[in-house]
Chains A and B, each alone.
Chain A
Amino acid sequence: MTAAATTPREGAGRDRVTGLLRKYLIVFIFLGMCALLAIFSPDHSFLKPQNLINVVRQISVIGLLAMGVMLCIITMGIDLSLGSVLGFSAVVAASLVQQPAWKEAIYPGLQLPAIAAVLAGLAAGILLGGLNGMLIAGFRIPPFIATLGMMTAARGFAYIYSNGRPVSTLNEDFLFLGKGDIGGLPVPIIIFLTVVVLMHLMLTYTRFGRHIYAIGGNEVAARVSGINVGRTKIFIYLISGMLAGLGGVVLTARVQSATPALGMGFELDAIASAVIGGTSFAGGIGTVWGTVVGALIIGVMNNGLDLLNVSPFYQQVVKGVIIVVAIIIDERKNR
């Protein structure tokens, strides 16, 4: 079984070309954007390796969140709490790796290895994400509402935990996760790519992955087919929360401090990435590669509009238009 199992319809011979064009439309759009930027950016600076690495580094955190929310959307759900969960996980993780000598640390004198902070960040995400799943599967609260509540509450937890102050002055070995590189490749990118590969394997080659698509394809039919829909959903939101936790760790290490407001609004870019990448709110459709391309489009768009000196005000408008156009294309494709 390959990704073909979930990609849009295959052309029947005569319209194979149109089929191919449709199927990879988003990739063509992405390549088109890159080509335009390569030509029109001053000094062709877009194509410089440093710039390209920058683009990917910038989307690595959004990309992690997009992977999670993609799972939710495939099952006709949503996770609005990602940005807040990221914020909470960030302050929790950072609080464990502040320099022992720093007087204003949350736990002064505490000395723990970086891995403890990573695990704590993941655990915080798993906890809140699992709670989302429990609310959705156990109490049958619509995902939009459950995660909207969590979005507000988790942000509150972040402020309470950090006492409203940035958690800063972090150990160097922890900061390596955000600033370091291995063989020239920044660590955040390595983490992102690892998650991408794991997610792809999970969705395509495991029973759990098939269950996710089956639930999105037809929840009642999935239940009648013996799939434990509730348990699957709990795991989906738990994974989504965990990836937000991981995003919190990486982002903190990159900006060298965790503020309780970290990641505010990130869920929207994550949702946009998944949707631009072809994940369908009608359920059952969505691929890791599509979502990666969706995130890249957002990254390239941000980067390119900067390079072209477009005012940030206009950038927002352009981004909004692209999201809506992507949905329109998606709707027509599924008709």
Chain B
Amino acid sequence: MGEELLLRMTGISKAFPGVQALDDVHLDVESGTVHALMGENGAGKSTLMKVLAGIYHADSGSIWFNGADVSIPDSAVALKLGISMIHQELSPVPAMMVAENIFLGREPLNRFGMVDRGQMIAKTQALFDKWGIAINPRATMRSLVVAQMQMVEIAKAISYDSRLIVMDEPTSAISEREVSHLHHMIKSLKESGVAVIYITHKMDEVFKISDKVTVFRDGKHVATIPAADLDRQKLITLMVGRELTHLFPKEDVAIGEIVMSVRGLTRIGVITDISFDLRRGEILGLAGLMGAGRTEVLEALFGVTRVDAGEVTVNGNVVHIKSPSDAIHAGMGLLTEDRKKTGIMGALSVRDNMVVAALARFSPGGILRPGMIEAAAKAERDALDIKTPSLSQLIKNLSGGNQQKVLVSRWLLTSPDILMIDEPTRGIDVGAKSEIHKLMSGLAKQGKAILMVSSELPEILGMSDRVLVMAGGRITAEFSREEVTQEKVLEAATLVAPAA
């Protein structure tokens, strides 16, 4: 089959509040090839593909596809052009059957204008037979396991007879056997002239199936290189290859005795055998790619989710944490990952947001002491330099950085020994970032132990006294501040985890 140019994206830029997600990016894809997109979390791969599929609109740039300049305002247009996408987050309708999911939005009709179920099922069966998929088209979607759902999504994308199929981490939820099945499918698609854009974090896959590799970093195009000219080491260097900035002022602090030790923490199918110690004055970085299980470790420790096995010791005593309230009593605090969704209480004031986790302290006998609250909130505002017109201001009107500071103060008011912070600086501007980092450094100096999850390697490297790397729900490596490098972290983060 010919390898003529099928897709050319040029000068694509896209900004979200506070982030330049794509900066003048270009991408060429030839038909009949598999083109892998690589890069760290937030490098811009998924954003670019969402622009291509009509889910996001680029701020600037142009798309040329199959011989003509095109504009793609929504996914219906993308599909009509011959571009289909398998999303990272599955989007099935659980109550519908498999065939109905495949034909969602383009249901075949009979001559009375009613949905023709029989035809739908027959067509689905034919599709599955052709691609060797053993799933009953009549089964309801919710009765399938995740791997089967993923295969249905893949079959659905293929069924549009597209010229170009985008697969965004299609193998993150399926087993070895299905992965090799998928690779076979990709091979025959390729032979029939279809182009595949493949996003993955698994390096082995890249070398196994792709013809070309494009690397992104911080929203910019870094390089496009034939896969044959690449090796693992070279690829990692391309992905991280950045100068470390000095935004991260972690001061040297005398590291004290062990505050918390975790042994064998397991939540079946999510995290496996997590063990580590955390010391006074230490910032322990938890690195890994999206879906590695980092957030899940924090949630399990904090009693947000149940655990199946493991022992946690705090200050020498074994603790049994069944709810966040137990965790708070044990001296822990948790700043969650998604500030908007699980952090701030948008309709409430800055003051209310600050004191909510420490209300018991301010309400002996259940009755609030407004004077105490006011004094404490003022003290926190001044100590953390929170910029707000007043403490009665609604928190949703503050900037991201100041919201984050309010959330830090929420936990400081509970006087924790252990502060767990998930993505401390996600989505906040550079100045506020450095303030949050200074703040964390200061807390470590006061003897707090900090467990930090971060997807930003420079943050992990700059702030951590010690780094744990996770992949596939397990800890795959541990590095001291002296020995850690971006390359080592990424290497450990992309290890294929042993089958659970």
Contacts and interface: CB of A to CB of B under 8 A. Distances in A.
Interface of A: 1-2, 4-6, 8-10, 12, 204-211, 213-214, 216-218, 220-228, 280, 282-285, 334
21 contacts: A1-B352, A2-B370, A9-B393, A207-B360, A207-B363, A207-B366, A213-B347, A213-B348, A216-B347, A217-B345, A218-B346, A220-B342, A221-B344, A221-B345, A224-B324, A224-B334, A225-B357, A280-B347, A282-B347, A284-B347, A284-B348
Q: Which of A4, A221, A282 has the most CB of B within 10 A?
A: A221
Interface range on chain B (Cβ under 8 Å from partner) = 35 or more
A208 B365 CA distance: 11
- Which 4 pairs of residues, A with B, have the shortest CB-CB distance? A217-B345, A284-B347, A225-B357, A226-B325
B389 to A, nearest CB: 6
Interface string B96-116: 000000000000000000000
B348 A224 contact: no
Contact of A5 (B323, B392, B397): B392
A224 B370 contact: no
A223 B324 contact: yes
B341 interface: yes
B446 interface: no
B349 interface: yes
B370 A1 contact: yes
Q: Which of B328, B343, B352, B370 has the most CB of A within 10 A?
A: B352
A133 to B, nearest CB: 19
B356 interface: yes
Contacts of A214: 345, 348, 352, 356
Contact of A217 (B323, B341, B347): B347
Given A10-B393, A213-B352, A207 B346 contact: no
A220 to B, nearest CB: 4
B280 interface: no
A217 B348 contact: yes
Contact of B349 (A6, A225, A226): A6
A230 to B, nearest CB: 10
B124 interface: no
Interface in B354-404: 355-357, 359-360, 363, 366-368, 370, 373-374, 389-390, 392-394, 397
Contacts, number: 115
A218 B392 contact: no
Interface string B122-135: 00000000000000
A221 B349 contact: no
Contacts of B390: 10
Contacts of B355: 210
Contacts of A206: 363, 366-368
Given A206-B366, A207-B366, A210-B359, A225 B348 contact: no
Contacts of B433: none
B368 A205 contact: yes
B389 A222 contact: no
B336 interface: yes
Contacts of A228: 323, 325
B439 interface: no
Nearest to A7: B392
B348 A208 contact: no
Contacts of B343: 218, 221
B220 interface: no
B302 interface: yes
Given A9-B394, A206-B368, A224-B334, A284 B346 contact: yes
B474 interface: no
A123 B368 CA distance: 28
A4 B345 contact: no
A123 to B, nearest CB: 23
A44 B393 CA distance: 43
A283 B342 CA distance: 14
Given A6-B348, A210-B368, A285-B347, A224 B392 contact: no
B397 to A, nearest CB: 6
